[in-house]
Amino acid sequence: MLNSIAKFFDFEGRKTNFRRETIAGITTFVSMVYILFVNPNVLGVTGMDKGAIFTATALASAFGCFLMGLIANYPIAISASLGINAFFAYSVVIGMKVSWQTALAGVFVASVIFIILTALKLREKIIDSIPADFKAAIGGGIGLFIAFIGMNDGGLIQSSKDTLVSLGSLHVGTTWLTIFGLLVSVILMSRKVPGAIFIGMVLNAILGMVTGLIPLPHQWVSGMPSLAPTFGVALSHIGDINSLQLVVVVLTFLLVTFFDTAGTLVGLAEQAGFIENNRIPRIGRALIADSSTMAVGSILGTSPMGAFVESSAGIAVGGRTGFTAVVVGILFVLGTFFSPLLTVITSQVTAPALIIVGVLMAQSLKNVHWEKFEIAAPAFITLVGMPFTYSIADGIALGFITYPITMIAAKRGKEVSAMMYGLAVVFVIFLWILNS
C-alpha cells in the first residue's frame, strides 16, 4: 500500500518519502488547528450556533485538503480564511445588519462565480501574468505577515497607543513559553534536525502542561456537534440577495477571497520551489479545489474557505506532495471527535513555528531585482503592505497599483502586460469598495 501511495503522489520525483510527508501533514495541522476554535468564536457573534460552526469548519477543511491533495498534488491545506471570517461577522452581519443566513447565501453565490472563473481559466491567467519579482515579493510578504501574527499571538509584541506596537510583557508566563519554543526551534533548525518545527511545538506543549500555563483537557474524546443549525441554510436564502447592497457584499467576498487565496498559493508555491518559468504547474487544479471547497463550506455553514498560509509550516519541514494535505484532512476529521485534546495547541505553541516559517519564506526576497527602483518600490510596498494592513489581499492591491505607475515613470510601460494594467484598475475599485 505504501508503494502505491508513493507512486500516486510521486514521492521519488518530488524527492520525499512517506515519513516526511506524514510529519509535514501533522505539522501543518498543528499549526492551523486553532481555526477550529477561532472560527466559531468569530462567527458566533452573529448568532450562529458555535457547535455547528466547529463541525462545518472541520468537515469543509477536510474536504478541501482531500481535494487539494488528490487533484492538485500540492502540500497545501484549505480552511476558513482568517480576516474574511471577521469581515463576514463584523462588517456584513453586524455592520450592514444582514442576517447570517443571507450572508451565507452571499458566500455561496460568490463561490459559484469563483468556480465559473476557474473553469474559464481566468484565475489561472491572472496568476500567470504576475511578474516573477512580485511572486517573490508576495512570498516574502506572507512570511513577514505570519511572523507578525506569530509574535503577536505569542506575546512577544503587543499593541501600544504611543508606538502602535511595542515589546510584549516579559512578566507573563505564556510569553516565556513562546520564547522557549522559539529558542528550541531555532537551535534544532540550525542543527538541521529533521522535523525541527514539529518537535519544537511538541516540547513547547509539554512544557506548557507541566508548568500549568496550558490547562490539561478534562476529557479526551467528545461527540461531533450537530450541523443541523447551519446545514443548507445558504441554499434556502439565495433569494434574499435582491438589493444593490447585497450584490456589493457578494462581489466583496469574491474579490477578497480571490486575491487572498491567489497570493497565498503563489507564496506557498514559491516556498516549495514549484514555480517553473514564472508558472505554477497544476495551478488550475489547485484553484478548482479551493473554489469548490468555498461552495461546500457555505452549504455546511461557514465563512469563505481558501488556501491556508500555515501550510508553510508543513512545507518548511519537507512536505512536497498532496499526501501532506491528505494527512491534514484526515486529522481534521479525527479532530471533530477529539476537540478537548486539541485545546492544548494554544497560540504560544504555534507562535514559534509561524516565526520560523516567516524566516524561511523571506528567503524568496533574494529573487527581487532590488537594484531597479521601478521594481523595488512596488515590491517593497507589497512586502510591507501585508503585515501593516494585516491583509494579504490589501498588500497585493497596494503593490499592484503602484507597479504600472513606476514602470511608466521609468519609461518601461510597454513591458507591463494588459492584465497587470487591468488588475491595477480592479484593485483601485476593490480598495474603494472595501473602505466605503
The pTM assigned to this predicted structure is 0.75
The total domain count for the chain is: 2
Tell me if 245 sits within 8 A of 97, measured CB to CB: no
Q: Which of 319, 349, 364 is the last residue of a domain?
A: 364
Check residue 213 and give its pLDDT: 92
Kindly state whether residues 309 and 405 are assigned to the same domain.
no
Q: Which residue has the higher pLDDT, 71 or 197?
A: 71
Q: Which of 341, 364, 387 is the last residue of a domain?
A: 364
In 3-state terms, what secondary structure has residue 407?
A: helix
Check residue 52 and give its pLDDT: 93
Round to whole Å and give the CA distance between 45 and 33. 20
Kindly state whether residues 186 and 222 are assigned to the same domain.
yes
Check residue 338 and give its pLDDT: 76
Q: Which of 55-64, 122-131, 235-244, 336-345 reaches the highest mean pLDDT? A: 55-64
- Specify if 219 maps to a domain: yes
**Is residue 342 pLDDT above 80, yes or no?**
no
The C-alpha cell 511608466 sits at 408
Q: Express each pLDDT in 6-31 by its tens digit.
A: 899 999 999 999 999 999 999 999 88
Q: Express each pLDDT in 169-190 by its tens digit.
A: 999 999 999 999 999 999 998 9
Check residue 41 and give its pLDDT: 79
Q: Express each pLDDT in 85-136 by its tens digit.
A: 877 887 788 877 899 999 999 999 999 999 998 899 888 888 788 888 988 8
Kindly state whether residues 354 and 374 are assigned to the same domain.
no
Tell me if 208 sits within 8 A of 348, measured CB to CB: yes
Amino acid at 411: K
Kindly state whether residues 27 and 169 are assigned to the same domain.
yes
Check residue 327 and give its pLDDT: 97
How does 46-65 read in b/e, with b if 16+ C-beta sit within 10 Å? Answer: bebbebbbbbbbbbbbbbbb
- Specify if 2 maps to a domain: no
Kindly state whether residues 355 and 376 are assigned to the same domain.
no
In 3-state terms, what secondary structure has residue 384?
A: helix
Q: Which of 340, 364, 388 is the last residue of a domain?
A: 364
Round to whole Å and give the CA distance between 384 and 406. 17
- Specify if 253 maps to a domain: no
Kindly state whether residues 375 and 404 are assigned to the same domain.
yes
Q: Which residue has the higher pLDDT, 284 or 63?
A: 63
Check residue 371 and give its pLDDT: 96
Handedness of CA 149, 150, 152, 156 (dihedral sign): negative
- Specify if 140 maps to a domain: yes
Kindly state whether residues 321 and 388 are assigned to the same domain.
no
CA distances from 129 to 132, 357, 383, 407 (A): 9, 27, 19, 16
Of the pLDDT bands very low, low, confident and very high (cuts 50, 70, 90), residue 83 is low
- Specify if 251 maps to a domain: no
Tell me if 86 sits within 8 A of 260, measured CB to CB: no
Kindly state whether residues 426 and 296 are assigned to the same domain.
no
Computed over every residue of the chain, the mean pLDDT equals 88
Of the pLDDT bands very low, low, confident and very high (cuts 50, 70, 90), residue 279 is confident
Of the pLDDT bands very low, low, confident and very high (cuts 50, 70, 90), residue 65 is very high
Kindly state whether residues 332 and 396 are assigned to the same domain.
no
Kindly state whether residues 204 and 265 are assigned to the same domain.
yes
Kindly state whether residues 332 and 418 are assigned to the same domain.
no
Tell me if 120 sits within 8 A of 288, measured CB to CB: no
- Specify if 252 maps to a domain: no
> In this prediction, what percent of the chain has a pLDDT beyond 70?
98
Q: Express each pLDDT in 209-244 by its tens digit.
A: 999 998 887 777 888 889 999 999 999 999 999 887
Residue range 362-371: average pLDDT? 89
**How many residues can be counted in the chain?**
436
The C-alpha cell 520551489 sits at 273
Kindly state whether residues 360 and 373 are assigned to the same domain.
no
Domain range for 436: 369-436
Check residue 183 and give its pLDDT: 96
In 3-state terms, what secondary structure has residue 313?
A: helix
Check residue 238 and give its pLDDT: 94
Check residue 215 and give its pLDDT: 87
Check residue 315 and give its pLDDT: 93
Contacts of 28 (CB under 8 A, 6+ apart): 75, 77, 308, 310, 311, 313, 314, 319, 324, 325, 328
Of the pLDDT bands very low, low, confident and very high (cuts 50, 70, 90), residue 379 is very high
Closest CA to 34 of 69, 82, 86, 66: 82
Q: Which residue has the higher pLDDT, 32 or 177?
A: 177
**Is residue 340 pLDDT above 80, yes or no?**
no
Round to whole Å and give the CA distance between 150 and 34. 13
In 3-state terms, what secondary structure has residue 399?
A: helix
- Specify if 345 maps to a domain: yes
Give strand pairing partners of 157: 167
- Specify if 139 maps to a domain: yes
